[in-house]
Structure formats: C-alpha cells, structure tokens
Amino acid sequence: MPKALLLENIHPLAAEALSKDGFDVVTMKGALSEDELIEALDGVDLLGIRSKTTVTPKVIDACPQLTAIGCFCIGTNQVDLSYAANQGIAVFNAPYSNTRSVVELVICDIICLMRRIPAHTHYLKHGVWDKSATGSHEVRGKTLGIIGYGNIGSQLSVLAEALGMRVVFYDLEEKLALGNAHRCETLDELLEQSDAVTLHVDGRKSNTGFFGEHQFAQMKQGAIFINASRGFVADLVALKKYIDNGHIAGAALDVYPTEPKAKGDPFTSELADEDNMVLTPHIGGSTLEAQKNIGTFVAQRLSDYWFKASTMLSVNLPQITVGDCKNEARVAHLHKNLPGILAQVNQHLGAQDINVSAQSLGTEGEIGYAVMDVSAPLSQETIEALEAIPGTIRVRVMQ
C-alpha cells in the first residue's frame, strides 16, 4: 500500500478520503523540524502539511521516494517548489477553499476596530466603565483599501460594498474590478484615502518588509490596519510606533514574522498591550467549514496524481488533466523541457510493440510532462530505458 503522512492536525476527512482510496495513512499533530521530518518520511509516498512545516532541499534529497506534497492551506512558500519539481515531486494546495473564512475574519476585524470593541473590552476587563462614542464609527461610507486583489481581496471587496463601504484596491497585476471598486495606480494613492487598509499579498520573498515605515506614515490619520496575509510583509515595530503616536487608530493581526510551531506554545508580541488591537493566532482559514473543504480538496488532488497522473491545479508542474486510464497501462514521464524527449519516449515504446492510444503533453518553464495511455504493460527493462533518456526527471507507471 502507498503510504501518506499528514501533519499539523489536517481535517480527518483528508485521512478518511486517502484511506478509502487505498493509502496507509499516518497522522501527526503539530509541525516537524527538518530532521524530524526526514525521519518521519521514511517510506512515505505522499506528504500533507499546513503552514508550519518547511520542506527544504535537504528533506527532498533525503526522501527520494516522496512523490507528492499537499499543502492543506493557501500558501506554498513553505515548500521549495522549483527544487521539488526538479526532483519529480508534485505540489498541490487549496487556493480557494478557505477564502470565505479569511474574508469574514477581515470584515469582523474592520467592524470591531472601527467601533473600538477591543479597547472597550480591555477597559471593562480592568474595571473601567468607558461608555463613550469617541473614536467609534460606522463602516458605512468609509473607504476600504485592499492591497492585493486576488481570490481573497476581490471577495472581500464584494462583501465590503454590501456593508456600504467604498472600495479601492492596488495590485501589481491587471485585475478586473468587481462592483464599484476602483483601482489605484500607486500604493500611496490608496493609503492616503483609505479609512481601513488590509493586506492580501502572496508569500514571495520580495514581499518581505513590503509594508513599513513609509507606508504607515502615508496612511490616513486615524485609519486602521489589518494583516491576514503573511507575517513577514509588515514591519511591526513601525506599526507600534504609529499606533503609539496616534496616527493609526487600531490594528488587527492574524499572522506574524515568527509563529509558534504547535498549539499551546508560548507567544509574545510587542503589540499585545495596545488597547485597540486584535491579535488572532493565524486562524483566518481555521473554520470547520474551511478545514473540511481543504481536507477533501487537497486529498483528491493527491489521489488523482497518484492513481491517474493528473496534475490539475499543481503549483509547480505543467498542468495536465486526465481521466481514468482506459487501456492496459499509463506512463507519466516528467522531464526537462528539452527538444526530442517525447520522440525518444515514443521510440522506446514502439520498439517494444507498445502502441500509444492517448497522449497529453504540457510544458512550463524548464519542465515538461507527458502522460500516455499504452496498449500493453511495461516491462522493467522498458521502464529503465525510459528513465535513462537524457533529461528524464521521473517516470511513473500505473498498470
């Protein structure tokens, strides 16, 4: 039986789905360090992780049998995607499954901060009755600035407008504005007019420190700030400075530059004592509905790759969608994107009188991927001949 390892409290439906498909599934709580992960991956074919486990080249090199990695979350920056691809490992994620959960948390944060709910709660907990409308506002009529107009940012745009907010957004790529949202040409243009600013950028390394001293200074006096994207994109020292001097009226953080590995681990923040502050432990996508959707979605991608060689929605391999094999065997050939490789594959199969009844080829950058349904089972000699073709990364045969 192929073996799957699921870490970090992935929803039980994922293990259930993989077990039903014939996998021997092992589940573990919490994330693992590099050395712990290498030890745990002994004999493992499929790995499932969330955001706290890092899959490095060292891990990949130590586990040559590893075939696919499922990131049961949106982000994939915890995996070296290029290195994984060049070692023949497909990586999948769940780009849409928890979008609504994140959006609802951000909407909640906006309303709470605008009404100064955290501050009022803080005072009451310390025995102070502060019944006052000072600094409290309705969100209706206020301007929301969304930085990053992808799956989350665009859906947030729609819900914010339903609350009566005016929406502006900034994105490096051309994006279609939904509803009455307005695209800003520069980040400063967005910051200068927004009563609430929320970050929804991706985890690329170039976004490290993206929102810092200059950006906080450019924000509108009395605006609020929200980050539910990546912890390393915002300078928290600068954020504290502008909250303390009264320029920023409040903030909500769901992600942090450094986060504990497991539930129950200690956590400290320089912002914990601020009165109008919402701190949540990276739970943007942590609703039962979202985790259930993610569990079933990613498990299906892993199963389809293992049994069908389908790379639909893979984040690091050319995407080929195939159904069930209707012939004797299926061959999946992952290779460098070099001229003539597919011709050599067909030549080797033809030399063994094996007919190709269906063939799909996809390329992306330096990687090529071919899936072929063939008329006869492949001998070990033929498989070894395919593996020996210069530029071959990995050959998988389903028969």
Of 161, 259, 328, 364, the active-site residue reads 259
Taking the C-alpha atoms of residue 275 and residue 201, their distance in angstroms, rounded to an integer, is 27
How confident is the model at residue 150, as a pLDDT?
93
Of 11, 115, 116, 282, the active-site residue reads 282
Taking the C-alpha atoms of residue 293 and residue 116, their distance in angstroms, rounded to an integer, is 33
How confident is the model at residue 159, as a pLDDT?
98
| Residue 282 annotated among the catalytic residues of the structure | yes
| Residue 122 annotated among the catalytic residues of the structure | no
* CA 316 to each of CA 207, 286, 346, 388: distance values in angstroms, whole numbers, following the listed order: 20, 25, 25, 23
Q: Can you read off the two tokens belonging to residue 327?
A: 């012939």
Provide the 10 A C-beta neighbour count for residue 205.
Answer: 7
How confident is the model at residue 108, as a pLDDT?
98
Confirm whether pTM is higher than 0.85: no
Helices (H), 234-310: 236-244, 288-308
Of 230, 330, 333, 335, the active-site residue reads 230
How confident is the model at residue 271, as a pLDDT?
95
Kindly give the confidence (pLDDT) of every residue in the chain, 399 residues in length, as a single tens digit, with 9 standing for 90 and above: 899 999 999 999 999 999 999 999 999 988 999 999 999 999 999 999 998 899 999 999 999 999 999 999 988 989 999 999 999 999 999 988 889 999 999 999 999 999 999 999 999 999 999 999 999 999 999 999 999 999 999 999 999 999 999 999 999 999 999 999 999 999 999 999 999 999 999 888 888 999 999 999 999 999 999 999 999 999 999 999 999 999 999 999 999 999 987 788 999 999 999 999 999 999 998 899 999 999 999 999 999 999 999 999 999 999 999 999 988 999 999 999 999 999 999 999 999 999 999 999 999 999 999 999 999 999 999 999 999 999 999 999 998
Tell me, what amino acid is at 217?
A
Provide the 10 A C-beta neighbour count for residue 306.
Answer: 22
CA-based nearest residue to 26, from 53, 2, 5, 42: 5
How confident is the model at residue 51, as a pLDDT?
87
Q: Token match 């060049």: residue?
A: 86
| Residue 166 annotated among the catalytic residues of the structure | no
Domains of the chain are 1-97+288-317 (3.40.50.720), 99-279 (3.40.50.720), 318-399 (3.30.70.260)
How confident is the model at residue 301, as a pLDDT?
97
Taking the C-alpha atoms of residue 362 and residue 320, their distance in angstroms, rounded to an integer, is 6
